[in-house]
Structure 1
Amino acid sequence: MVSRQSIDQTEHLDASARAAWARIWSSISPESQLLAWMDWVRHLSISPGKQEQLRQLALSQWEQLFRDWSEELAASARTTAPASTPAYTDRRFSDPAWDRWPFNLLRQTYQAQQQWWQSATEGVAGVEPHHQKMVAFGAEQWLNMFSPSNFALTNPLVWDKTLAEQGDNFSRGLENWQQDMQAQSAGEPPVGTEDFKVGQDVAATPGKVVLRNELVELIQYTPTTKQVHPEPILIVPAWIMKYYILDLSEQNSLIKYLVDQGHTVFCLSWKNPEAADHAFGMDDYIRLGWTASLDAVNVIVPGQKIHATGYCLGGTLLSIAAAGMARDGDERLASLTFFAAQTDFSEPGDLSLFIDESQVSMLEAQMADEGYLRANQMEAAFQMLRSADLLWAPMVNKYLLGERRPLNDLMAWNADATRMPATMHSQYLRRMYLNNDLSQNRYPLEGRIVSLAQINLPTFCVGTVSDHVAPWRSVYKLHYLVPAEITFVLTTGGHNAGIVSEPGHPRRNYQISTRAAGTAPILVDEWQAQASSHPGSWWSAWAEWLKARSGAPVKPPQMGAAKQGFAPLDPAPGQYVLVK
């Protein structure tokens, strides 16, 4: 018989090999990619109808391109004005400079390639849906990489800049590149983040840390009104990000807005984990993060129920915790609010492209080796989701045009990334993305199953139109899992910018509708067609919603509760948010 020790040694050897393989491939599983492309190629090879369709599409595209090229050359020979061109939604080619020959032909050729590959990667019978999405995503990444907008010789904006400045743009571009490489090699944050000092320029709303344990700090914010609503608000941010996404600059801080509206606000600040924290799991995050903070708020503001609020992964955690409280008969909550938070992961969005058994196995081996998931691994994944905007466009601006655009507070916050402990992140990926345990009523909290169907609290839920992380249609599925009253908001913007949507923010609007408790939900497209539309920020709608579910204003509570073990410690933003 093979001994247990021998099995452990071989498993350790395999894990070490996978961890080394992950480092070579930048944590992207090549096996997963290869399987997807093989699936697509093999099924395309036995689809003669699809092949003929693609051949006809390519032929018609070349014929159209040839006609356009001929007409353009003829117009140039007659020195006549070129025909009017349509408005382009792709921001890379929207500048009028792209209407000039030969750049207009380069743009047209590139967009024909996009159209062909989109058709080629869709509708191939027999291809696994996950593989189809991976192939389409891979083709998009290659097309984005070789876009004519990325190269000096094929970008008219670079030509114009170079001629106007006699090449000084390249000198500045080289200087920008050197600065970026120096910062990256030294492990320093991007150039420009020094203008946003945490605790001074951002995360500056006054308050005190009233709880600190090995995983979380709890911040209580100083009231700015003479009276406050009796029910406090407890905010659970995602542990994948620093909490101050909700407390950016003074004018766009959601936390400051809530305090100014007469609310007593508490917010968790998660510890940025080290290798020694590798064993922290989801139960630990709920016990040390949510439950410990809830207990502290109950002591500081005694006798009052709490408006619980969760953002992104923090919202997912809050839904699990609320289901556990409902299971155990715990009635300390007054309401629930979720910002861009998923509870059903059957359609989880573009991040699922990086999550399958091969990919998770590779990540687990690497996390076991290091103790955590590095922040730059997640940053690279998010950049790939929108590589045209987040990767290539900034490189063109900085290195070819020589323009380093100043960072704003949201961009500086985004560069202040966090790590995730190995055990928790592995549990999250497997239980949510791979198994979808929560929506299927098989998620275990402290060894016992929880069900979202037991939650019967008034709920406010926000989805954002352009969310690539938590697509709003996926967020909407909370309606199918929770029988409670749900007020759902769909706002313009993305995963972050849609939430940081202060009153007065330009070009903001939202839709809102409430489903009564115990009534059947309508389909998502019907909801979108029927929900009322409003200009401006959804923050004011949430403030009214909270006010309607809160009691008459009272005197603000004390800061902390020293006699009960929650003495005020450091001033906000505390210590954990400063850990790099």
Structure 2
Amino acid sequence: MADRQDPFAAFFDMQGEAMREMFAQFSPAPGAAPGLPDMAQWNDAAAQMQRMWTEFMTDKLGSASANPLDPAQWMLMTQGWARSTPTSFEPAAKLMSESVELWQGVIGSMMGQVAGTKPAPQELPRKDRRFSDPAWQQHPAYALLHQTYLMLADYFVRAAKEVDGVPDDKKAQLRFATQALVEAMSPDNFIATNPVVLKRTIETGGQNLVKGLQHLINDLKRGQLTHTDADAFTLGENLAATPGKVVYETPLYQLIQYSPSTDEVYEVPLVIFPPWINRFYILDLTPKKSFIKWAVDQGITVFVVSWKSADASMKDVVWDDYIRSQIEAIDHIRARLGVPHVHTIGYCVAGTTLAATLAVLARRGEAEKVRSATFFTAQVDFERAGELLQFIDDAQLDMIAKLTPDGYLDGRYLAATFNSLRGKDLIWNYVVNNYLLGEDYPAFDLLHWNGDVTNLPAKWHGDYLRDLYRDNKLVRPDALSADGTPIDLTLVETPSYVQAGREDHIAPAESVWRITEHFRGDMTFLLAGSGHIAGVVNPPEAHKYQYWTGDSGAASLKDFVVGAEEHPGSWWPHWLAWLERQDSARIAAKGKRIPGSKGDPVIEDAPGRYVKTR
């Protein structure tokens, strides 16, 4: 018998009793045919869940570590945001009329179907893949339930968009909050209102819920929602496995050089600066998806920076340190290979930083160190930076500061923030599959990378949100400086290739486009199909998506799109042709072009230690 002083044990006592009552009608009578679970199975499932939760809570009470999945932590993060966000609007009379029409239509058609008095309807009024299982249409109650939910969700989101008398920034916050709320309240997220979960629970005698609770407990312990099988991938074996060596190291990053796979290579090497908010191997996933391997196979000498995940020793790291690191990496490669300049790639925030680096080099008269610059979904003008703008008002910044007592922001908070931007797909979909249905985790390389979080230096992160996202200082000449040098993007004349994702919600294409309005050099803009990740990681062999080319000097992205030409498949070969036009000279792949060869001391094999440190 559970200790009645323990509220969590009492909770599971009640849940167990509810489970037994709920499924009592399905227990077979004595002598009945087998197939349905009996009461003993329900009792056993309820007891297992109670025992698992009690053990978890006992362990939890002895730990004081912060947990981003802890509801109290999320309350702390959102208090200031909630105080500054409007939370109500006037109901519209249209909602009532739509409700009546919906109830009459769904009940009438479904009941007629059950009674056999009329043909089955072709389709219900509203479609959503969360309710695609036939169980949501086969019973009038569930049909009415999910159709009513979709109607109300549409109404509340629409009302949030149209509310009057509210500043645009607060209206955007209200819209985001409303969308998050309606996604959380979806009937498929709850056992009693999800017929698919109920069916699975009956079939397994509640063991899906036992397995799901174990998944939940595991996630609560690690402080992060699990999306994929954690044991399916090993760095250096089936992820980040392109052969190479760590050839240089600082307290902030490791520099990896990849071994050539061709007899000749382009004379000008390439250095890739990935975002430090994620692991670099988004560009080196499985061999078939690896941009790095593909580039090496084209004859490019590829270097990549592997940033260190922040800890307390990095509490004073600021943006200047990342700009200095980019310049240092460029200079090290030039000296190592004896070349006057390098090609560069900056992805996301590292692309933003690369733009600042180019401006610093231009102001110092050292622009020739960079032969070309490529930007993957990178923003420099944050006026239209998208949904992340909802997290940068003063109240939000104060809350974030409270989460960084040791000088760094736990990467799990950032992962949860990005997941919340697509909560239906990246949160609630997994709540249903993992916790309610008790499904096994899939082996998916991209989701493994997505969950491999990095910590951020708190001082730099705060400055980034304030100076760039909130105050948009980067596009104001000399409003910012780095390492004592004022930053003016209009000084940059480096040939640049700018890639944006058509469905990118992190760095919207319209925002990425604006780099063309600030740089003064030759510019090639390309719009890729899909979003922030799949729009970049799209190998030619996959034959997926498409891309658009057009007038990179157009007055706006809209004008670019109007005149753009669509091309099927990957944009990588288009980029390679552009890169070759910058410098097509080739040399033999020998000497230090082969890292770790005779007389070339290296630190360790790729992918190095830093990428494996949490």
TM-score by length of 2: 0.83
Deviations 1:325-370 (A, max 9, x none): 1111111111110111111111111111111111112222432x12
1:451 maps onto 2:488 in alignment? yes
1:28 maps onto 2:99 in alignment? no
Residue identity in the other structure for 1:545: W
Q: How has the CA–CA distance of structure 1 residues 183 and 160 changed in structure 2, closer, same or farther, with 3 Å as cutoff?
A: closer
Q: How has the CA–CA distance of structure 1 residues 161 and 172 changed in structure 2, closer, same or farther, with 3 Å as cutoff?
A: closer
**Partner of residue 162 from structure 2, selected from 123, 140, 151:** 123
Deviations 1:444-488 (A, max 9, x none): 122332111111122111111222211111111112112322222
CA distance in 2, matches of 1:86, 1:73: 13
Residue identity in the other structure for 2:132: S
Residue identity in the other structure for 1:148: P
**Partner of residue 443 from structure 2, selected from 400, 407, 410:** 407
Deviations 1:413-465 (A, max 9, x none): 11111000111111111111111111122221223321111111221111112
Report how far residue 187 of structure 1 moved. Answer: 6.6
Match of 2:293 in 1: 256
Report how far residue 79 of structure 1 moved. Answer: 4.4
Residue identity in the other structure for 2:191: A
1:464–1:492 contact (8 Å) kept in structure 2: yes
CA distance in 2, matches of 1:472, 1:230: 32
Report how far residue 254 of structure 1 moved. Answer: 0.4
Match of 1:300 in 2: 336
Residue identity in the other structure for 1:117: F
Residue identity in the other structure for 1:553: R
Match of 1:556 in 2: 589
Structure with greater Cα Rg: 2
How do 1:24-423 and structure 2 match up within 5 A?
24-37=73-86, 41=88, 44=89, 51=90, 54-68=91-105, 69-85=107-123, 90-102=128-140, 103-162=142-201, 166-168=203-205, 170-182=206-218, 184-185=220-221, 190=226, 192-287=229-324, 289-330=325-366, 331-367=368-404, 369-423=405-459
2:201–2:207 contact (8 Å) kept in structure 1: no
SS in 2 for 1:178: helix
CA distance in 1, matches of 2:273, 2:383: 24
Report how far residue 398 of structure 1 moved. Answer: 1.9
CA distance in 1, matches of 2:541, 2:213: 36
Q: How has the CA–CA distance of structure 1 residues 403 and 186 changed in structure 2, closer, same or farther, with 3 Å as cutoff?
A: closer
Deviations 1:160-183 (A, max 9, x none): 4445xx235x41342243144236
Q: How has the CA–CA distance of structure 1 residues 187 and 121 changed in structure 2, closer, same or farther, with 3 Å as cutoff?
A: closer
Match of 1:546 in 2: 579
Report how far residue 567 of structure 1 moved. Answer: 3.5
Report how far residue 139 of structure 1 moved. Answer: 1.4
Q: How has the CA–CA distance of structure 1 residues 84 and 130 changed in structure 2, closer, same or farther, with 3 Å as cutoff?
A: same
Q: How has the CA–CA distance of structure 1 residues 350 and 27 changed in structure 2, closer, same or farther, with 3 Å as cutoff?
A: farther
Q: How has the CA–CA distance of structure 1 residues 72 and 365 changed in structure 2, closer, same or farther, with 3 Å as cutoff?
A: closer
CA distance in 1, matches of 2:471, 2:457: 20
Residue identity in the other structure for 2:351: G
Q: How has the CA–CA distance of structure 1 residues 314 and 566 changed in structure 2, closer, same or farther, with 3 Å as cutoff?
A: farther
SS in 2 for 1:418: coil
Bigger mean CA deviation after superposition, 548-557 or 124-133: 548-557
Aligned residues: 538
Match of 2:40 in 1: none
- Which consecutive segments of 4 or more residues in structure 1 shift more than 4 A? 22-27, 86-89, 186-191, 560-563
Which blocks of at least 5 consecutive residues in structure 2 are unaligned? Answer: 1-70
Report how far residue 189 of structure 1 moved. Answer: 9.2
Which blocks of at least 5 consecutive residues in structure 1 are unaligned? Answer: 1-21, 45-50
Report how far residue 125 of structure 1 moved. Answer: 2.7
CA distance in 2, matches of 1:392, 1:468: 18
CA distance in 2, matches of 1:56, 1:26: 34
1:238–1:314 contact (8 Å) kept in structure 2: yes
SS in 2 for 1:388: helix
Match of 1:8 in 2: none
Report how far residue 231 of structure 1 moved. Answer: 0.8
CA distance in 2, matches of 1:79, 1:403: 39
Report how far residue 88 of structure 1 moved. Answer: 6.1
1:579 maps onto 2:613 in alignment? yes
**Partner of residue 602 from structure 2, selected from 565, 568, 573:** 568
Report how far residue 61 of structure 1 moved. Answer: 0.9
Q: How has the CA–CA distance of structure 1 residues 140 and 578 changed in structure 2, closer, same or farther, with 3 Å as cutoff?
A: same
Match of 1:487 in 2: 524
SS in 1 for 2:533: coil
2:336–2:592 contact (8 Å) kept in structure 1: yes
Match of 2:512 in 1: 475
CA distance in 2, matches of 1:57, 1:87: 16
Report how far residue 232 of structure 1 moved. Answer: 0.7
Deviations 1:271-300 (A, max 9, x none): 11111210011101111x201111111012
Bigger mean CA deviation after superposition, 67-76 or 192-201: 67-76
SS in 2 for 1:504: helix
**Partner of residue 469 from structure 2, selected from 433, 440, 465:** 433
TM-score by length of 1: 0.87
Deviations 1:252-272 (A, max 9, x none): 110000000000000000011
Residue identity in the other structure for 1:320: A
How do 1:519-530 and structure 2 match up within 5 A?
520-530=553-563
CA distance in 2, matches of 1:122, 1:64: 24
Residue identity in the other structure for 1:317: T
CA distance in 2, matches of 1:269, 1:60: 58
Q: How has the CA–CA distance of structure 1 residues 454 and 90 changed in structure 2, closer, same or farther, with 3 Å as cutoff?
A: farther
CA distance in 2, matches of 1:189, 1:126: 38
Q: How has the CA–CA distance of structure 1 residues 36 and 186 changed in structure 2, closer, same or farther, with 3 Å as cutoff?
A: closer
Q: How has the CA–CA distance of structure 1 residues 504 and 98 changed in structure 2, closer, same or farther, with 3 Å as cutoff?
A: farther
Report how far residue 70 of structure 1 moved. Answer: 2.9
CA distance in 1, matches of 2:309, 2:600: 22
Residue identity in the other structure for 2:329: S
Match of 1:424 in 2: 460
SS in 1 for 2:497: strand
Residue identity in the other structure for 2:115: A
Report how far residue 34 of structure 1 moved. Answer: 2.0
2:290–2:537 contact (8 Å) kept in structure 1: yes
2:201–2:209 contact (8 Å) kept in structure 1: no
SS in 1 for 2:452: coil
Residue identity in the other structure for 1:576: Y
Report how far residue 324 of structure 1 moved. Answer: 0.9
RMSD: 2.5
Report how far residue 98 of structure 1 moved. Answer: 3.1
SS in 1 for 2:517: helix
Query: Bigger relative contact order, structure 1 or 2, given CA contacts below 8 A and separation 6+?
Result: 1
2:502–2:509 contact (8 Å) kept in structure 1: yes
CA distance in 1, matches of 2:386, 2:223: 30
